[in-house]
Structure 1
Amino acid sequence: MSKIVIKSGFSAVACPFDNFKSLELGQKLSQAGHIYDITEVREPSKETLVYSKCVPQTNVSNPPWRVEITLNNERIVTQAHCSCPAGLSGHCKHRAALVITLNNHRDESQTDNQQAWRKPSTHGKSLYPKGKRVKEIIKSKSRGPSPSYALPSKKIRAHYMKDLEEFGLANSQIYHELKEESREVQSEAKGSLAIPDWVKNVLSAQHQFVTTAAIHLETLPSKLRQFYQEHVCVDDETTKSIFEATLEQSGSVMWINQRKLRITGSRAHGIFRGRTPHTRAGNFFKSPPEVESIKYGRRMEKAALEQYQLITKREVFRPGLVIKKVQPWLATTPDGLFIDEEGNVGVLEIKSPKS
C-alpha cells in the first residue's frame, strides 16, 4: 500500500505539554501565522512524519526554517527537528508552534467566511448563538485512539485475500491492493538476488578496514540511550536489508529517514570543520542548498555512470545506504562501486560540472 500525504484536516497531537518547553512562545508564533505549508505523510509500518515551513521571526526575508515532528500511532511526538540554530535543544519554539498549529487547525469553507450581503442583527445573534465545535465538546482525553497504519503481515494478507475470494470479492479494490502489496514484497525479494557477489563481499568484510572507537552509552540519558539502541544500532541482517531497500537512493523514503539518524558523507565535512558543538549540531541537520549546479549534477549522474562503464568496460553497481557496522552512526551512499579486471574493488565518485 502506498503512502498517504495529507495537506489538511489534521488530527490533533496528543500530550503536547510533555514534549516542549516553549509552548507559550510557540503559541505566539502560531497565532501570528508563521507556520505554513504543513504536510503529513503516513506510511504502513512507519511512524507518521509531519513537516512544515516557519517564517523566521528575526528576519522574515530570510529562507524559512524547516520544522518536522514524528508521531507514533497514538499521535504522541517521538522525534522533533528544526533547521534553526536552537533546533537541537529543548527550547526551540518553532517545533512547539507546529504542534500548536496542528491542534488548532481547521479547514475553511465558504460558510466559515463572514457574510457580506446580510449580517445578522445583535438580537438575532442572541437568539441563535453559535454552537461549539466538536473538538471543544469532546476533550482529547475522551477521544478514541487513532487508527493504526501498520502493514499487516504476509500471513494475514493471505488470509484476507482467501476470505474475499470465498465471498466472490476478488474484483474489489481492497483485494487488488492486497495482491499488489504481495507483488511488491516478491519484487523486493527478487531485487536482493540481483546484487553481485563481489558487492556482498565488500559489505561483509567492511569491518576489516575500520578502526573502532569505544562507545560509552552509560554517559547518555536513559531516553537517548534507548533511542540509540532501538533506532541507530543495527545488526548484520538489518544492515543488509537497509542496503537492499535503499538502492533507489533519494527515491527511497527509507534512505531519507535512515540518513537523518546518522552522520553521512555529505554532512561529515561540515560537522568536522565546525568549531563549536552548537555549529556542528547545526550542520548535522542542514540540507545542501538546492542550487542549479547541484540539480544538474543529479540529472547527469546516471548518464555519467553509463559513460564510465562504456569507456572502462568495468562492472559498476549503484549501491544503497552503507552503514558502518561497528560505528552505526556513520553512513554513506557512494555514487558507485566498481570492480576492475584484476578483481580490485573501488569507489566511484561522479562529478558533473555545469560550466
Structure 2
Amino acid sequence: MTTQMKRSIPSELNNVTEWIDDMRKWPNIMYGDIFNYLISSKAVDGAEMKNFKSLQSYNYFQSGNVDKVLHNILSDGRMYLKADVRASQTVSRVNEAYVICSMDGTVEQGWCTCMAGQGLSCSHVGAVLWKVEHAVRNNMTGASCTDDNAMWNRGTKRNIEPRSLSNIVFTKPKQGENLLEDFNVNAPGVRDTPMYCSSQELRTAVEQSPLLPLFKLKGTTINKSFVSKPAVKENIPKDHGEHDSLSSCQRCSSFYSKYLTVDLARIIKLQTDTITQSKSVLWKDARKIRITASSASKVPIKKLQTFVGNKFTKHGQEGEIAAKEYLLTNGYHVVEKGTYVSLEENWLSASPDGILNDDTLLEIKSPVPSVKWTTLNELFTGQKYDVHMNNNGILVLKVKGNRGFFMQIQLTMFCTGLRKCKLLIWLNPDEFQFIEVPYDEQYVREHVARLRTFYFKKMMNIIVDEIEDDRLVFSKAFKKCMRL
C-alpha cells in the first residue's frame, strides 16, 4: 500500500536531495493565496469550496498534527514545501504532504501520499498551507525571525493512540522526566466517539447500543438527558452559498459594513500606516479580505481556469530597493505609500511601489536574467515578457501579458486616483527602461465589473464563513483601524 501511495508523488520530487528547516525563507502565503488555490484546483470549484472545511485541514493544523515544515528552493525561485501530517482515522500513520509555490505566496500545486492526494487539495496539503499562513500572519518568518520563533516549526506530531483508562497510568512526573518514553504503543486503541448532529440521531444510536439499559435508569442524569426534549430549538445553519447582492444576505451585508466599508479618512490612515507594506501586519490584514491589483489576474474568467501569479523573488525585491535609491539620487521625487483601498469599490485595493513627482504612479519590475536573455533588449524581443516593441518601434505593455502587469497597473491607477504611470524595468544602474502606461478607462470599467461579480458571488461568502468559524482572524492593529 505504501508503494502504491508513493507513486502519487511527482517524479521531480525524487531529484530533491536536501530539505532545509529555516522559517526565515518561507514564502509569503496568506489567506487569499490558500483561497485562490482551492477554488482553482481541478478537484474543487467555487461552488464546492466549503468541502475543505469538512476535510478538517485547519483543524489538523490547530490540533498539532502537522510536523516540521521543510523546504527546498528551486533554481527558478519557486519553493517546495514538505511536512508529515498525522492521519485522522489512523493516528499511528502519517501522510507526506508537498506543496510547490512561488515566493510571493502563490500556490501552484499540492500532492499527498493519502488516498485523496491525487485530488491535489486534500486536508493534509491544506494543513501545511495553514501552518505557513499562521507563521506569516504572526510575523514569524523573514529575516527578523528569532530562534524562539524558529523552534515553533518543530511539530507536535507524536506516535500516540487513544486507549482505555485501564491502560493509562496517572502519575506525577518528576522534574526532567520524559513521559512519552514510557508510552506503551502496543496498547489497544479505542474507536473514535461519533458526533451526532441532532438529538434524534443520538436517540437512534443509543437505542441500538448495548448501553441502552444504562440510559433507562430512572432518576439519573443520563436518563433525564435521554428522555427530555431539547432545551433549545435545533437550528442547523443553512449552507452559505452564492448570491448576487448584499440585500439577499444579512451575514454578508453585516460583514461588508463592518470590515470593508471605509471613508476617506480611514483610507488615508491605511496609506500612511502601511508604508512598510509586507512588513506590516495591518497591510496583510487589509489585503486578505479584498481583491488586490496584484492578485486580480489570478481571478478566473471561466471556472476552473488555472491561476498564474506574478513571480516575485528575493532578486525582485532587492531590485526594487536599488531602483528607488537610484531614482532618489538622480533627482526624482519618489514618495512611498502603503495600501490604497478604492473609495468607490471598498473590496478592491492596491499597493503601489511609489508615487513619482506627486502625480505619476511608479511601478518597478526587476526580472531575473536567464540563459535565454542577459540584456533588456533580448528580454523584450523574446516575445514572452509582458513588454514588447510595437510596429512603430516603441516599447509598450501587453494588455494580455502572462504576468498580468497591465491589469495590475490599471487597477492600481484606479485605486490611487492617478491617471499616469511610469513602468520601470530594472536590471542594474547601467541598464533600465522607463515605459509610459496610459490609463485605460474602458478596460478598467469592464474588469472592475467582472471582479465585483466574482467577489460578491464567489469570494465574500467564503470569507464570511471563515471569520465566523474563527479560521480567519485579524490583528489588533486592524481591529483598531476598523474600530472593531
Please classify the TM superposition score into its range, dividing by the shorter chain length.
Answer: 0.3 to 0.5
- Bigger Rg, structure 1 or 2: 2
TM-score by length of 2: 0.31
Task: Give the number of the structure whose residues are more often helix, by fraction.
Answer: 1
